[in-house]
Amino acid sequence: MKILLVDDDAYVLNGLRQMIDWGRLGIEEVMTAGDGEEAWELYVRRKPDLLVTDVYMPRMNSLELIRKIRKHDVKLPVVILSGYGEFHDAKEAIHLQVAQYVLKPAVFMEIENVLRQVICEKNAADQKEQYFRGLQSQLEQSIPVLREQFLFDLLTARVRETDIAAKKLEFLRMEERVFHGGLVMSLLLHREGSRKTEAEKDWQLYKFAAYNIAQEIVSVEGGGCLLRYMEDRLPVLLYGSEEETRQRAKRIAGKLLDGIGNYLELPANVGIGRWYGSYAAYPASHKESRDVLTAADYEGYQKTFDAQEAGTLARSSRTVLPLEEIRRLAEALMQPDRGGVEKIWGQIERMLLNEKALSFKYVKTLCVSAIHSVALHTMHEDSAVIEDMPLPEFLQSIESARRPEELMERIRDVWAKWLSALEMKYNEGRQHAYVQHVKKAVAEHYCEGISFAKIADELHVTRNHLSGLFKRETGESFSDYLTRFRIEKAKELMKTQRYMIYEISEMVGYSDPAYFSRMFKAVTGISPTDYAMGRK
């Protein structure tokens, strides 16, 4: 800290400099001035942290000096040392927010105590100000997140009229016209069929890049807000008059598909919900933007689907092709849940067969669309499963059916083969996980007594079943695997030449050194002693 002492009496200045322990007060630099004008020049050049001044001085007195300083700094602590206790001076000092008013003559110990108190108050005030500046900075950084959460609530019908007070909108930096008419559009990124998005970290990176592209486009067009991803869909709220907003939505959709297609080379579609004149209907527009994308699942990529323009078609599609049921069917397949698949498809099958107005050819088309839609849903979970499925054969089989009953029988066969492939993959993965669990248990507890039966209990399988799985995947029994693992650890310890044979025996899980020696020789062909001495 720096302090500025101002007094026209050189004796007082020298006394203050020499008699007060400035270092103990945390003052590293002491500056002095003989009058107000000299003090002002020092203040401007050196910006002291504390000012101690006499009242009456030539050229400019202290009150004039303080008034001048207060125009630039209202927080600088000021202590007045005065030989005059006049009321109007004290009153003016209070008006100028002087920290202390000390009458001369005062002993240096008293002055030092006053300065210590003022410095403590300054430090406390500085800490408080720093704390609130930190809070303010955190709050500023959180505003985009709070605004995004508010918009998310707006699209999910969680915003009430009391939530849109003017002060809240001002705090969130949102325009009031957001609430007076708009629509929601959803950008859907497709992950399937692209090797560059196989790894989850790469997929998240591409989603982040797509978000940045969308943010730039919406920012240029204006009158819109991006929300966070909901699964792989990125919602955008556009607001304004109906015709202008719909035109802007189509422009943004075209730019989004071009940008993501050209720069990221990702397949994508855009769904546009209807325009509504009240924020209370935004959730309906949001749902429409998602529904129209789902209805167009099998119509290709890089396309825009408008719920308002395709309203009749969308309603017709929902009448004959229950999209929610198709989604549930795909989820049941991926579990895999054979009973669930049979139940869900049975409901769809009965609906298609009972719809007398539909031609057999059109029913075939709907069934093919259903298989394509399920395949798209499945790709999101595991594209490798689709690659293993003979989809062309399935479609050819469906196309060659001559009667509705024959068609449905062949589709049931498709689901059965699909389920079998998934069950096999699921069982293989689970069995591999069981074996990995056993290996992990050995690696962590080889130096202790390991119970294979206890490991089987942890996995909720029988000991014989787990033993068979382990032998089938590793080519050796659990006992042989454990023995070999322990002997390899023993060999590593012997190479250090720090332990006796009996110590190593205990360290790798054998309480009997003689038994350890027999097992070591059985695995390596030589005794532990010969191995430790380098004899092969």
pLDDT for the residue 171:
65
> What angle do helix axes 10-19 and 108-155 make, rounded to 10 degrees?
70
| Distance from C-alpha of 282 to C-alpha of 509, rounded to nearest angstrom | 67
| Same domain flag for 235 and 281 | yes
Sign of CA dihedral 422, 425, 430, 433: negative
Is 373 in the same domain as 492?
Answer: no
Q: Out of 94, 113, 128, pick the residue that ends a domain.
A: 128
Q: In what order do the strands lie in the sheet with 29-33?
A: 29-33, 2-6, 50-54, 78-82, 100-103
Of the three residues 102, 128, 154, the one that is the final residue of a domain is 128
- 257 close to 302: Cβ distance less than 8 angstroms: yes
Looking up residue 298, the CATH number of its domain turns out to be 3.30.70.270
DSSP state of 179: G
* 100-103 and 78-82 beta bridge pairing: parallel
> Which helix (DSSP H) or strand (DSSP E) does residue 6 occupy?
strand 2-6
Q: In CATH, what number is assigned to the domain containing residue 64? A: 3.40.50.2300
Nearest CA-CA partner of 490 in 452, 453, 523: 523
Report yes or no on 364 lying in a domain: yes
CATH code of the domain covering residue 485: 1.10.10.60
Six token digits for residue 223? 């009158």
Does 291 fall in a domain?
yes
Let me know how long the chain is: 536
Residue 308 sits in the same domain as residue 368: no
Quick check: is 518 in a domain?
yes
Tell me the C-alpha distance between 269 and 257, whole Å: 7
Q: What does the alpha-carbon distance between residue 255 and residue 214 come to, in Å, rounded to a whole number? A: 9
- Sign of dihedral through CA atoms 309, 315, 317, 321? positive
The tokens for 265 are 């080379």
Question: What is the C-alpha to C-alpha distance for residues 274 and 306, in angstroms, rounded to an integer?
Answer: 8
Q: Which of 287, 302, 320 is the last residue of a domain?
A: 320
Distance of CA 15 to the CA centre of its chain: 62
249 and 352 share a domain?
no
Q: Is residue 182 part of a domain?
A: yes
In a domain, 336, yes or no: yes
> In the chain, how many domains are there?
4
Q: What pLDDT score does 314 carry?
A: 39
What pLDDT is recorded for position 357? 63
> Do 306 and 351 sit in the same domain of this protein?
no
User: What angle, rounded to 10 degrees, do the helices at 360-381 and 323-334 form?
Assistant: 50
Q: Tell me if 18 is assigned to some domain.
A: yes
Residue 332 sits in the same domain as residue 253: no
Nearest Cα neighbor of 186 from 156, 157, 229 is 229
Residues 194 and 274 in one domain: yes
Cα dihedral sign, 424-426-427-429: positive
> For residue 297, which amino acid is it?
D
Regarding whether 111 and 8 lie in a shared domain, the answer is yes
Q: Which of 13, 115, 22, 111 is nearest to 57 (CA)?
A: 13
pLDDT of residue 165: 62
Same domain, 37 and 103: yes
Shared domain check, 83 and 72: yes
Residue 427 and residue 524: Cα distance in Å, rounded? Answer: 36
Looking at the domain assignment, is residue 144 inside a domain? no
Question: How far is Cα 272 from Cα 92, in angstroms, rounded to an integer?
Answer: 68
Confidence at residue 108, expressed as pLDDT on a 0 to 100 scale:
81
Cis omega (within 30 of 0) for bond into 144 = no
> Is 299 inside any structural domain?
yes
The sheet with strand 303-306 has its strands ordered as 224-226, 233-239, 182-189, 268-272, 303-306
Eight-class DSSP state of 278: S
- Alpha helices of 181-310 — where are they, by DSSP H? 200-221, 242-259, 282-295
Q: Within 10 A of 48 (CB to CB), how many other CB atoms are there?
A: 23
Query: Is residue 123 domain-shared with residue 92, that is, in the same domain?
Result: yes
Selection from 240, 271, 187, 281 nearest residue 248 by Cα: 240
Report which DSSP code applies to 2.
E
pLDDT reported for residue 321: 62
Q: Tens-of-pLDDT digits for all 536 residues of the chain?
A: 999 999 888 888 888 888 888 999 999 999 999 888 999 999 999 999 999 988 878 888 888 888 899 888 888 999 888 766 555 556 666 777 787 777 777 778 888 888 999 999 888 988 888 888 877 777 677 777 777 777 777 777 666 666 666 667 666 667 777 788 899 999 998 876 567 787 888 889 999 999 999 999 999 998 888 888 887 889 999 999 999 999 999 999 999 999 998 988 888 999 999 999 888 888 889 899 988 887 665 456 888 989 887 654 434 444 456 667 777 887 787 777 888 888 988 888 888 888 766 667 778 777 887 887 777 776 655 555 555 566 677 777 777 787 888 888 988 888 888 787 776 665 655 566 777 888 888 888 888 888 888 888 887 777 877 787 788 778 889 889 999 999 999 998 988 888 888 899 999 888 888 998 999 999 888 988 888 887 65
Domain residues for the domain of 113 are: 2-128
Q: Are residues 303 and 333 in the same domain?
A: no
Distance CA 365, CA 359 (A): 10
Q: Is 132 exposed, middle or buried (0-12, 13-18, 19+ CB in 10 A)?
A: exposed
